[in-house]
């Protein structure tokens, strides 16, 4: 076990890292953050912020010398960086697991090779691959294999010609071509797994997206969002299988589509997940505390959700006069949120808002799930989030 007051290392300085720093501080640890952005949210609250690139070996040597273990909040940290740090200190999750999750080709291949439910897809590395793709894949979504998130690096394509145009737009980057599926719902599972293989999962959440970005999470998911009784494996069981096959240690998020009552894995995130933010306010132990525990070899908590919860993301367009990213730049009127019973507001301290950027979130908790959802959606409208 790594015990307080040891120093832990965090690769990545976003809001997920910021919550990890807070959880670690509450448990008595110190945290160093490595992130190239001098204004990174996690760096602002860390004991030390190393402003350096992820392949800066002087900075990595500092982490290796001063930290007892290292984790990440950002799946696009180079696997080589994780491998390098492993020479000095424990690194969780391992580079091998992160490498699968950070590349859509590796991710889809992993699912197929391990008999895990996934949608039809084709690997696209050239225009010839597009021409050779099964016609039954269309209409489809073409996604770049690396560095695509929150709807970025994706294009809906109705046919082969549109897929070729999109592939050219992506400048020939390796991609996956995924068949568009008829969605009933989207759900996600956040779990923690330790080195001994023990797994603790939070209740499955129900997700709604807007413009490719998570908008609302309802936790636990409503009964209507769960697949039919005939589904072979539950979302939590599939997520646990994924963690086991990856040899994963840490907090893992798994996103699912529910299509005609059947579960299909969409993506895996080798870190805490946006849909797990509510665990800070609605559970005995948050996903970030579990990340600290798994990293340090402490026994995992058994997470109990004590309240119904709805999480709403706050994106950068709210900071503009028209609520869409145009007009005068101003701070939203937070008083309308603070007036809502059971609402907890979390702002990330990012230095500039831009459309689509996650600037904060709020969570409404309570005993009555229907009332909680009603209050959260009313607060969402009151702060200026508009459905398009």
Annotated binding-site residues for ATP read 104, 143, 148-154, 178-181, 186, 209, 266-267
The neighbouring-strand residues paired with 124 are: 175
Determine the Cα–Cα distance for residues 129 and 262; give it in Å rounded to an integer: 29
The neighbouring-strand residues paired with 254 are: 189, 268
CA distances from 47 to 11, 23, 258, 387 (A): 14, 13, 42, 40
Tokens read off for 306: 């004590």
Which of these, 338, 245, 214, 271, lies nearest to 71 by C-alpha position? 271
CA distances from 364 to 205, 213, 311, 377, 384 (A): 14, 20, 7, 10, 17
Helices (H), the chain: 15-26, 41-45, 57-66, 79-86, 95-101, 104-113, 127-132, 160-169, 235-246, 279-282, 287-296, 335-338, 369-383
- DSSP-derived 3-state class of residue 43: helix
Residue list for the binding site: 104, 143, 148-154, 178-181, 186, 209, 266-267
The neighbouring-strand residues paired with 200 are: 192
């Amino acid at each position: 076990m790594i015990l307080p007051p040891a120093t832990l290392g965090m690769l990545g300085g976003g809001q997920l890292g910021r919550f990890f720093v807070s959880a670690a501080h509450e448990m008595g640890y110190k945290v160093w953050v490595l992130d190239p952005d001098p204004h990174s949210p996690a760096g602002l609250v860390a004991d030390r912020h190393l402003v350096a690139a992820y392949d800066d070996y002087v900075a990595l040597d500092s982490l290796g010398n001063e930290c007892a273990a290292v984790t990440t909040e950002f799946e696009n940290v180079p696997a080589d960086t994780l491998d390098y740090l492993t020479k000095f200190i424990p690194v969780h999750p391992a580079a091998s697991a992160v490498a699968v999750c950070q590349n859509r080709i590796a991710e889809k291949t992993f699912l197929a090779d391990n008999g895990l439910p996934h949608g039809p897809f084709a690997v696209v590395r050239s225009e010839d691959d597009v021409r050779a793709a099964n016609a039954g894949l269309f209409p489809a979504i073409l996604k770049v294999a690396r560095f695509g998130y929150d709807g970025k690096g994706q294009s809906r394509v109705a046919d082969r010609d549109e897929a070729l145009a999109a592939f050219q737009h992506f400048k020939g980057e390796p991609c996956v071509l995924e068949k568009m599926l008829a969605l009933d719902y989207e759900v996600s599972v956040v779990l923690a797994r330790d080195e001994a293989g023990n797994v603790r999962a939070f209740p499955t959440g129900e997700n709604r997206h807007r413009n490719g970005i998570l908008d609302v999470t309802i936790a636990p998911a409503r009964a209507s969002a769960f697949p039919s009784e005939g589904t072979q494996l539950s979302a939590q069981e599939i997520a646990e299988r994924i963690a086991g096959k990856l040899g994963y240690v840490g907090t893992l998020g798994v996103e699912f589509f529910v299509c005609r009552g059947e579960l299909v894995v969409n993506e895996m995130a080798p870190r805490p997940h946006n849909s797990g933010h509510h665990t800070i306010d609605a559970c005995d132990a948050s996903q970030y505390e579990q990340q600290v525990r798994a990293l340090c070899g402490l026994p995992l908590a058994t997470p109990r959700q004590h309240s119904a919860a709805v999480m709403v993301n706050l994106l950068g367009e709210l900071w503009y006069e028209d609520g869409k990213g145009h007009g005068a730049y101003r701070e939203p009127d937070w008083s309308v949120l603070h007036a809502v019973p059971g609402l907890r507001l979390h702002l990330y301290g990012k230095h500039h808002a831009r459309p689509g950027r996650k600037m904060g979130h709020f969570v409404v908790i309570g005993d009555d799930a229907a009332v909680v959802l009603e209050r959260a959606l009313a607060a969402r409208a009151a702060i200026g989030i508009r459905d398009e």
